[in-house]
Amino acid sequence: MNFKIGVIPGDGIGPEITAEAVKVLDAVAAGFGHTFEYEEILLGGASIDVHGVPLTDEAVETARGCDAVLMGSIGGDAATSPWYKLEPSKRPEAGLLKIRKELGLFANLRPAYLYNELKDACPIKESVIGPDGFDMIIVRELTGGLYFGDRITEEVNGVMTAVDTLSYNEKEIRRIAVRAFDIAMKRRKKVTSVDKANVLDSSRLWRKIVEEVAEDYPEVTLEHMLVDNCAMQLVHNPAQFDVVVTENMFGDILSDEASMVTGSIGMLSSASLNETKFGLYEPSHGSAPDIAGKGIANPIATILSAAMMLRYSLDLDREADAVEAAVERFLAEGNRTVDIAAGEKWLGTSAAGDMIAGMIS
Ligand code: IPM
Ligand code: MG
């Protein structure tokens, strides 16, 4: 089959890791008889350098015309990069928020699980985690809440005051809840909905709507958890979680925490989906400007994001399985990148990509 895939190399280590994921996709195309046509899209600092803005409308249209988009990572070091001297709406992150909003990518899936092979990298003792590790997916609402509410910075009675607005309507809550329950049906059938319903009206509405949605899924167990407790539970007993659904800002924070608990943030993929099959796929980690250009970044999170893309947007399940199996074999045979090496010999970005691509079958 023929597919058009948008590729956003982005900033920092982004170009290095996306190149490896494309290598793996090329191996999939050759092995399974597909044609992948790539369209490069500029987003973030890379776009600022060329166009002066982090995402042009043309770039949005190019992305819209693709079957799916694979992204590396965007942004630079806020302390030193000239991009951060620009006003907030012109900085790299604004491009990411724009593409999410313009393409309606409201459902952000962020899996976090403990790799058996990398158990020692987990910062929490096995006696706390339990023998079976953990395997959760955070379903983060991505186009509402504080990120997209009205903002005002003004002087009120001689005092500088800034306001950010957190708003959700029931439709926005319902569609993300439905996604979370659908995913739970294919997993261990448990949903933890995270909110701050002891304080926020938006959370009380969230809870009410999630409960309504739950009625359509009698097989799924629903529990509610306050966000502060959830932050604690993630390091206390991560194995209790299956699907965690939450609003934009809470999901941003909790997904970073969850990924760190795995000890292998360089391995975690993510997907941002809209109402159709279209999605934007990117590693859970950032652009790591400190190691950019050194050829040592771990490309696995991006390669696994490409696998998610094959599965969710292109309906190529066998091909997605093949990519995941190649990554598993790569690790099982003792291959490591520097972030997960623990003193062993390790491979650079490109050598790791070559090896994984060579294991596609
Ligand atoms: C993420 C990032 C973004 C977010 C930033 C770069 C705007 O932290 O994808 O989690 O907060 O959503
Ligand atoms: Mg984040």
Give the model confidence (pLDDT) of 231-246 as tens digits: 999 999 999 999 999 9
Closest ligand relative to 73 C-alpha: 1
Q: What is the pTM for the complete model shown?
A: 0.95
Strand partners, 136: 112
- Catalytically annotated residue among 26, 77, 182, 256: 256
Half-sphere exposure of 248 (CA within 13 A, CB side): 20
Rounded to 5 degrees, what angle do the CA atoms 313, 318, 324 make? 85
Q: How confident is the model at residue 144 (pLDDT cuts 50, 70, 90)?
A: very high
Strand stretches in the chain, DSSP E = 2-10, 35-40, 68-73, 107-113, 135-141, 151-156, 159-164, 190-195, 221-226, 243-246, 269-273, 279-283
Whether residue 344 has pLDDT greater than 80: no
What distance in Å separates the CA atoms of residue 17 and residue 287, rounded to the nearest whole number? Answer: 10
In this structure, the residues whose C-beta lies within 6 A of any atom of ligand 1 are: 75, 93, 96, 252
DSSP string, 93-110: HHHHHHHHHHTT--EEEE
What distance in Å separates the CA atoms of residue 289 and residue 77, rounded to the nearest whole number? Answer: 6
Give the model confidence (pLDDT) of 164-219 as tens digits: 999 999 999 999 999 999 999 999 999 999 999 999 999 999 999 999 999 999 99
Measured in Å, residue 272 CA sits from the centre of ligand 1 at 12
Whether residue 343 has pLDDT greater than 80: no
Measured in Å, residue 24 CA sits from the centre of ligand 1 at 26
pLDDT at 19: 98
Whether residue 352 has pLDDT greater than 80: yes
pLDDT at 251: 98
pLDDT, the chain, mean: 96
Q: What is the mean pLDDT of residues 81-87?
A: 97
Q: How confident is the model at residue 117 (pLDDT cuts 50, 70, 90)?
A: confident
Question: Considering the chain, what percentage of its residues have pLDDT values greater than 70?
Answer: 100
Query: Are 121 and 263 contacting, i.e. CB atoms less than 8 angstroms apart?
Result: yes
- Residue 277 tokens read as 């099959």
pLDDT at 279: 98
